[in-house]
Amino acid sequence: MNPRFIVVSTGSELTAGRSQDTNSSWIANELFGLGYSVEKFVVLPDDPVLIRRELSEISVVSSTENPVLILMTGGLGPTEDDYTLEVVCELTGSTPVLNERAHDRLQALYRLRGRSFQEALATALRQVSIPSKSTVMNNSTGIAPGFWSELRPGAYLACMPGVPKEMTAMFHEELVPLIRTHFQSAKLYSDYLFIWGLSESLFQQEFIEKLDFFKAGKAIWGVAAKRGFIRVTYQSEDQELLSKLIALTKEKYGDLCTGDLFEELPALLIQKKLTVGTAESCTGGLAAKLFTDRAGSSEYFLGSIVSYANSIKENLLHVKKETLEAHGAVSEETAREMADNAASILNTDLSISITGIAGPGGATPTKRVGTVFIGTHIKGVGTEVKEYFFPFKRELFRDVVAATSLFALYNRLRKL
Amino acid sequence: MNPRFIVVSTGSELTAGRSQDTNSSWIANELFGLGYSVEKFVVLPDDPVLIRRELSEISVVSSTENPVLILMTGGLGPTEDDYTLEVVCELTGSTPVLNERAHDRLQALYRLRGRSFQEALATALRQVSIPSKSTVMNNSTGIAPGFWSELRPGAYLACMPGVPKEMTAMFHEELVPLIRTHFQSAKLYSDYLFIWGLSESLFQQEFIEKLDFFKAGKAIWGVAAKRGFIRVTYQSEDQELLSKLIALTKEKYGDLCTGDLFEELPALLIQKKLTVGTAESCTGGLAAKLFTDRAGSSEYFLGSIVSYANSIKENLLHVKKETLEAHGAVSEETAREMADNAASILNTDLSISITGIAGPGGATPTKRVGTVFIGTHIKGVGTEVKEYFFPFKRELFRDVVAATSLFALYNRLRKL
């Protein structure tokens, strides 16, 4: 049967508010993907008394009929602030034993750094030990191994490093198989899509609530609001139902649906051997930054002109003075010239132009804060400009506009 | 005496991993500023059974000699997923009573939207009610008021909305005075600075651990690792000691210390009436984005040329072909021409140039991934180029480089 899942993060930097605990939501999200839901997150400082008390209180109400799995991160390092090993040994009546594989890795690392392994023995060895009554979870990306213990019948504890890279690797490589062995979970199929320009609540109201599959428990849905789009996930044991849900969504939302745009757009550009550049005003380079977030983007992204001031729009982007005077910098006409000229100046096949009012200042009698014109140019096809209105705060506005500009280009390209 | 502080966040979107709980760390950070530390964060789904159980378990071990203050966010809205009012009424033997002030605000809002207040009565009224045995905490930015209750002697519960903007305003305006009334806390003075290019651990090792003030409990320190710098905070009841700590830090780290650069640099540019632009390669527009994050940045920021491809460096930025061929795109010489030419092409007083290897690809026999040249140009003074090495992953590398480029410019400017 499914256990209750409780995620515990330890770290004084977390409870002091100096760092943000991102491990817990990552774990909850992955567990959701496996068909499990989490009952509670707990975040504790590096304090052995508090950690011991918490683990005892959680495990004491569990039994083989009502099992609990505690997923704990942090506290496995070599410093005096790391108490996980000590606490778990105490709770399980174990002693620390050296894990050979982790020990070998550590030794190899010292050799690599040209330092004598003897030097650091005392503190370093702690982090390659696990409680005698536990199953090791190997760390493929760092030093400290994790471990899986049983605190009492039905109360399982999986300890993993707090470093996200190490934790996420260990989760997939070591923890998931252990969970599968201990608690059978039905095979779930999963698929997702992005829907652009739609809110979570509207999607729920006008789509999800009208379908019976979810009420009947035949499928699970999840939605995450991103900047400019929502990411919708469906899960079901029935693969056909899953395909049907994706099809129904596409039927309803049509062109607004994409896969992961930040993968699909680059793939399309590479496949069609097209180059792209941007001309940006209110986003100040953010669309260019989005393009170049990806390693290897030099294959298709050539450059950008950030024309924050009108002087740059005129002198560098060659937007006509008359256009700026007659229609203003935030206008369809300016966006059109920006896109046209960017493609010719940067010598690219495609271009995106963005001009809008990010606020809080800058509104005019006819144009509200949140107004933006996005132009997309395709060589040999032409330029299209669309007006949008995103009444959000400055930061959110800029994120939404930049992402939406990539979507606008993609949506034209995929239809060619 | 000081209570134990426990922060509880409720929301099924949190425990499902769809949203990140940012309220808890914000609250912990603010409490730190007031001289308090938090013992635990708990995150729960919108489940009245789990919420009630958690609150009972926390409060049962408290007494007037060992008080606890639970700061809870979320669950105050009008929907059927919002259980906070119901649970607290049950735990305190209260009934929901309408809060006049919140009720009036709600009514005014309906009038403003041109909708009849009668229409929405049933669901809307729930969120303007508080438990009869509680003290209201007014909501100056949204609808739902918060409240302060006593679950049993010494066990206090403050409920606030989950919307960060409403919660943070309520925290400062309503909660802090209530905390001060119930638990006297010594007046703490606080100050902070940024130190550039330094790690948390090195700072702790070579500075903090050599000072006695902290061990003796005369001052508290905190440090947050940001991208490119650390933010160091000191607190003490002794204002002179605080000044001394800041002075000692500046003495040790000299030029690496700034205040909040993202405030100080714009202020300096405005004060000196200087304009700035950027020429960026590996950061792909991120430095321009950083400049324009701030509302009103058009006063000093004119624009940018993102020359991701060498063709743009040559044709638009006029970097000499010979320079690119002889020294490569990632070189001191290229960075120098980029900075010089950006200032003349964009017609700005100042410019920043950035050219480096963000990785994972792009290394050359002589230049490793993580190498970057940052140029800063000051009209009438000249251009300076510095080489840096930031062996970080692509995203972190780009964030650090962009922030550091602003610091490099600031550091020259403030000495003029």
Residues of B in contact with A292 (CB under 8 A): 282-285, 308
Report residue B403 CA to chain centroid gap. Answer: 15
Mean pLDDT of B255-268: 97
Which tokens is B192 given? Answer: 């902070």
User: Which of B25, B71, B226, B306 would you mutate first to test chain A, the one with the most A CBs within 10 A?
Assistant: B306
pLDDT digits (tens, 9 = 90+) for A37-83: 899 999 999 999 999 999 999 999 899 999 999 999 999 987 778 89
Instruction: Give the nearest chain A residue to B201 (CA atoms).
Output: A79
Residue B17 banded pLDDT, cuts 50, 70, 90:
confident
| pLDDT of res. B8 | 98
Range name among A4-18, B262-276, B285-299 with the lowest pLDDT average: A4-18
pLDDT (tens digit per residue) in B141-176: 888 999 999 999 999 999 999 999 899 999 999 999
Q: SS3 for B114? A: coil
- State yes or no: pLDDT of B119 exceeds 70: no
Alpha helix ranges (H) inside A273-331? 286-292, 310-315, 321-327
What is the model's pLDDT at position B118?
62
Q: Which of A18, A21, A201, A369 to mutate to test the interface with B (most CBs of B within 10 A)?
A: A18
| Residue A286 shares a structural domain with residue A203 | no
Beta bridge partners of A223: A232
Four-point Cα dihedral B58, B59, B62, B67, nearest 10: 100
Beta-carbon separation of A29 and B17 below 8 A: yes
Residue A74: name the closest of A125, A109, A22, A110 by CA.
A22
Best CA proximity match to B160, nearest among B136, B184, B133 = B136
Q: How far is it, in rounded angstroms, from Cα A297 to Cα A283?
A: 19
The pLDDT averaged over each successive group of 10 residues in chain A (416 residues) is: 92 87 93 86 96 96 93 89 94 95 85 65 79 96 94 96 93 94 78 92 87 86 84 90 97 97 97 98 98 96 97 97 97 98 98 96 90 98 97 91 98 95
**pLDDT above 80: residue B54:** yes
Within 8 A of A296 by CB-CB distance, chain B residues are 361
Predicted pLDDT of residue B220: 82
Residue A224: predicted pLDDT: 76
Distance of CA B313 to the CA centre of its chain: 35
Same structural domain, A177 and A198: no
What does the pLDDT read at residue A259? 97
Question: Residue B123: what pLDDT?
Answer: 65
Best mutation target, A39, A168, A292, to test chain B (most B CBs within 10 A): A292
pLDDT for position B122: 62
Q: Chain A: nearest CA to B8, how far in angstroms?
A: 9
Report the CATH number that the domain containing residue B201 is assigned in CATH.
3.30.70
CA-based nearest distance A80→chain B, Å: 14
Q: At what angle do helices B84-92 and B48-60 cross, to 10 degrees?
A: 40
Looking at the structure, tell me whether residues A134 and A159 fall in a common domain. Answer: yes
- Please indicate, yes or no, whether residues B104 and B138 belong to a single structural domain of this protein: yes
Q: Measured between CA atoms, how close is A335 to chain B, in angstroms?
A: 16
Q: What is the pLDDT of residues B296-307, one digit of tens each?
A: 999 999 999 999
Q: Are B147 and B137 in contact (CB under 8 A)?
A: yes
What dihedral angle (degrees, nearest 10) is formed by the CA atoms of B388, B394, B400, B405?
A: 60
Judged by average pLDDT, the poorest of A164-178, B31-45, B267-281, B292-306 is B31-45
DSSP for residue B159: E
d(CA A319, CA A312): 9
- Structure confidence at residue A216 (pLDDT): 84
pLDDT higher than threshold 80 for residue B89: yes
Do the Cβ atoms of A38 and B24 come within 8 Å? no
Please give the Cα distance from A281 to A313 (Å, whole number): 9
pLDDT of B298: 96
Nearest CA in chain B to A49: B39
CA distance B3 to B25: 18
> Which residue of B16, B42, B302 is in closest CB contact with A42?
B42
Structure-token pair, residue A208:
């999800």
- pLDDT band at residue B5 using 50, 70 and 90 as cut-offs: very high
- The mean per-residue pLDDT over the stretch B201-226 comes to 85
Res B168: pLDDT: 94
Omega of the bond leading into A360 within 30 degrees of 0 (cis) = yes
Q: What is the mean pLDDT of chain B?
A: 92
Question: Of B132, B156, B182, which one is at a domain's C-terminal end?
Answer: B182
Residues of A in contact with B398 (CB under 8 A): 289
pLDDT of residue A207: 94
Burial of A176 (0-12, 13-18, 19+ CB in 10 A): middle
The phi, psi pair for A50, rounded to 5°, reads: -65, -40
Where is pLDDT greater, at B35 or B208? B208
**Judgement on whether residues A110 and A225 belong to the same structural domain of the protein:** no
| Nearest chain A Cα distance for residue B183, angstroms | 20
Residue A185: phi, psi to the nearest 5?
A: -125, 140
How many Cβ atoms from other residues are within 10 Å of residue A342's Cβ?
A: 29
Cα torsion through A359, A363, A368, A371, rounded to 10: -60
User: Per-residue confidence at B126, pLDDT binned at 50, 70, 90?
Assistant: confident
Residue A275: give its domain's CATH number.
Answer: 3.90.950.20
Size of interface A-B (CB pairs under 8 A): 233
Tell whether A218 and A272 lie within a shared domain.
no
The predicted pLDDT at position A316 comes to 97
Q: How does residue B67 score in pLDDT terms, banded at 50, 70 and 90?
A: very high
Contact A285, A304 (CB under 8 A): yes
Residue type at position B215: K
3-state SS assignment for residue A71: strand
Percent of chain B whose predicted confidence (pLDDT) is above 70: 96
Of A298, A345, A398, the CB nearest to B309: A298
Which pLDDT band holds residue B117 (cuts at 50, 70, 90)? low
pLDDT digits (tens, 9 = 90+) for A373-409: 999 999 999 999 999 999 888 988 999 999 999 999 9
Q: Which chain A residues are closer than 8 Å to B312 by Cβ?
A: 277, 302-303, 346
At B360, list the tokens: 């994972």
Q: Are residues B168 and B204 in the same domain?
A: no
Q: What is the mean pLDDT of residues B199-226?
A: 85
Give the pLDDT band (50/70/90) at residue B116. low
Q: What is the pLDDT of residue A115?
A: 64
- In this structure, the answer to whether residues B159 and B194 fall within a common structural domain is no
Claim to verify: residue B409 and residue B277 sit in the same structural domain: yes
How far is B203 from chain A, CA to nearest CA, in Å?
15
Query: What's the angle, vertex CA A72, arms to CA A69 and CA A78, rounded to 5?
Result: 145
- Amino acid A214: pLDDT: 86
Of all residues in chain B, the percent with pLDDT exceeding 90 is 73
Distances (CA, A) of A30 to A35, A137, A147, B126: 9, 18, 19, 35
- Across the interface, do A222 and B18 touch by the CB < 8 Å criterion? yes
Q: Are residues A100 and A153 in the same domain?
A: yes
Chain A neighbors of B50, CB-CB under 8 A: 39-40
Q: How confident is the model at residue B271 (pLDDT cuts 50, 70, 90)?
A: very high
Distance CA A203, CA A199 (A): 6
Q: What is the pLDDT of residue B302?
A: 98
Return the minimum-mean-pLDDT range out of A236-240, A321-325, B34-38, B264-268. B34-38
Distance separating alpha carbons of residues A100 and B262, to the nearest angstrom: 49
DSSP of B132-157: SSSEEE--SSSS--EEEEEEETTEEE
* pLDDT value at B120 more than 60: no
Domain count, chain B: 3
Name the domain boundary from A239, A258, A277.
A258
Contact between residue B356 and residue B364 where contact means Cβ atoms under 8 Å apart: no
CATH of the domain at B152: 3.40.980.10
- Report how far residue B412's alpha carbon sits from residue A296's, in angstroms, rounded to the nearest whole number: 34
Cα angle value B58/B60/B64 (rounded, 5°): 100
E-strand ranges in B267-404 read 276-280, 301-307, 350-356, 371-378, 382-389
Domain termination site, one of A150, A182, A214 = A182
Place of tokens 């013992």: B39
> Where in the sequence is the domain holding B228, given as residue range(s)?
189-258
DSSP string, A339-407: HHHHHHHHT-SEEEEEEE--SSS---SS--TTEEEEEEEETTTEEEEEEEE----HHHHHHHHHHHHHH
Regarding whether B296 and B225 lie in a shared domain, the answer is no
The answer to whether the Cβ–Cβ distance between B40 and A15 falls below 8 Å is: yes
- Give the pLDDT score at A275: 98
| Nearest CA distance, B54 vs chain A (angstrom) | 10
Residues 6+ apart with CB under 8 A from B63: B153, B154
Q: Number of helices and strands (H, E) in chain A?
A: 17, 17
Q: Are residues A387 and A318 in the same domain?
A: yes
